[in-house]
Structure 1
Amino acid sequence: MQHLTIVTHPLVQHKLTIMRDRETSTAGFRGLLREISLLLAYEVTRDLPLTMTSIETPLTEMEAPVLQGKKLALISILRAGNGLLDGVLELIPSARVGFIGLYRDEATLQPVKYYDKVPGDLDERVTIVLDPMLATGNSSVAAVSLLKDKGAADIRFLCLLAAPEGVARMREAHPDVPIVTAALDKRLNEKGYIVPGLGDAGDRMFGTK
């Protein structure tokens, strides 16, 4: 996969536009995030390795493709990552799930870790990191570094929106990690939020602001 993939499918772009609208309700935002994450998951899993297995159809025996290796690992960066997680799990219900808790220090914009619980054998799993916003990239870089320390080797990053600054930060720190997103927005503002963006994804998903 190339380092940055922008999913331009019309359904993805249509749903994203509704999510950007400040008038979209919390329930509407949450439902759209689940739907769009399922569509994005098709792209981030496009090149998963396959192997062949023998099965018997109602008519005959055949060799057919199945996913190779251990179950995928989905890693949600709390709390907003859980909105993407719901949709991806609909597509890959057998995936193993982990969580990394990070919050952004509003003064320094640096991530502070408060929790992590991830599946074992990450060195044998494709690992997909989920976070709706790739803004400064600091939290994303920290999460990927933590996963690499735990053995993960095949890591992909899935987000709803990305800023050029965050993409550059990820490319510098983890050039081996491809990014799949619905849009690359213009820039970050002085508070580190993506512009034009859609606001704080966690707040809009959970109705906390």
Structure 2
Amino acid sequence: MSNVHVSPHPLVAHKLSLLRQASTEPKKFRQLIKELAALLVYEATLDLATEPVEIETPIMRTTAYRLQEKIGLVPILRAGLGMVEGIWELMPSAEVWHIGLYRDERTLKPVEYYNKLPTEPTVSVCLILDPMLATGGSAVATVDILKRWGAKKIKFVGLIAAPEGIQAMQSAHPDVPIYVAHIDERLNEHGYIVPGLGDAGDRQFGTA
């Protein structure tokens, strides 16, 4: 699993524990999602290319560095929406493109219902955002969509993953690195991550 990156940060572990608790209310849940997303994307963007630029400080002229690559955030609706705000605070110039997928509860396969990507790619790096990498179906389908669109550099950023979801992603798209806070034990018979944290969308939006 050389392209799977599990955060070693103690703040990530602490906040994930709070997120998992059944007693965590939607408002706090959304805040934790926002904070975890910012921490994880910090790690996921360590290899972004930069370029030198001459600037004037209050003291003198010097060489500094700025991002060379344009970033696109691709939240998978609806649970991925909660991750955008935390990342946007770090990268306010990032574009946001939404992909709508839902899981057919009978087949556990993803069904696309929303896609507003422009005709040609407008960003250099796409960060797929989804709190849960469960069966991997939605993540794989989103990568398929982005590659057909012409995206060259894609990463997945989530909170928790099941081994089955990681396997599905690596089998379909071994070139896409995965960044998560934790790898859980397994999927249950209903396709939910165990021990998991419940339905991330329902818990964010108070619709459980």
TM superposition score category, shorter chain reference: over 0.9
1:109 equivalent in alignment to 2:108? yes
- What runs of 5+ residues in structure 2 fail to find an aligned partner? none
Matched AA of 2:47: D
Q: Which residue is 1:195 aligned to?
A: 194
Q: Distance in 1 between matches of 2:165 and 2:187?
A: 9
Structure 1 range deviating more: 119-128 or 194-203: 119-128
Q: Which residue is 2:42 aligned to?
A: 42
Q: Distance in 2 between matches of 1:26 and 1:61?
A: 48
1:49-198 equivalence runs, <5 A:
49-69=49-69, 71-118=70-117, 121-122=120-121, 124-198=123-197
Matched AA of 1:160: L
Q: Distance in 2 between matches of 1:137 and 1:16?
A: 20
Q: CA RMSD in A?
A: 1.2
In 2, are the aligned partners of 1:75 and 1:118 still within 8 Å (CA)?
no
1:204 equivalent in alignment to 2:203? yes
Aligned with 1:94: secondary structure? coil
State the Cα deviation string for residues 30-62 of structure 1 (Å, max 9, x = none). Answer: 111111111111011111001111111111111
1:118 Cα deviation after fit: 2.7
Q: Distance in 2 between matches of 1:120 and 1:72?
A: 17
Structure 1 range deviating more: 179-188 or 110-119: 110-119
Deviating above 3 A after TM superposition, structure 1's stretches of 4 or more consecutive aligned residues are none
- What runs of 5+ residues in structure 1 fail to find an aligned partner? none
| Cα separation, partners in 2 of 1:119 and 1:45, compared to 1, 3 Å | farther
Q: TM-score, normalised by structure 2?
A: 0.96
1:3 equivalent in alignment to 2:24? no
How many residues matched? 207
Matched AA of 1:47: D
State the Cα deviation string for residues 139-196 of structure 1 (Å, max 9, x = none). Answer: 1000010000000010010000000000010000000100000000000000100000
Aligned with 1:199: secondary structure? coil
State the Cα deviation string for residues 53-103 of structure 1 (Å, max 9, x = none). Answer: 11111111111111113x210001000000111111111110011000000
Matched AA of 2:33: L
| Cα separation, partners in 2 of 1:120 and 1:66, compared to 1, 3 Å | farther
| Cα separation, partners in 2 of 1:190 and 1:46, compared to 1, 3 Å | same
| Cα separation, partners in 2 of 1:119 and 1:14, compared to 1, 3 Å | farther
1:123 Cα deviation after fit: 7.0
Q: Distance in 2 between matches of 1:81 and 1:190?
A: 24
| Cα separation, partners in 2 of 1:95 and 1:104, compared to 1, 3 Å | same
Matched AA of 1:154: K
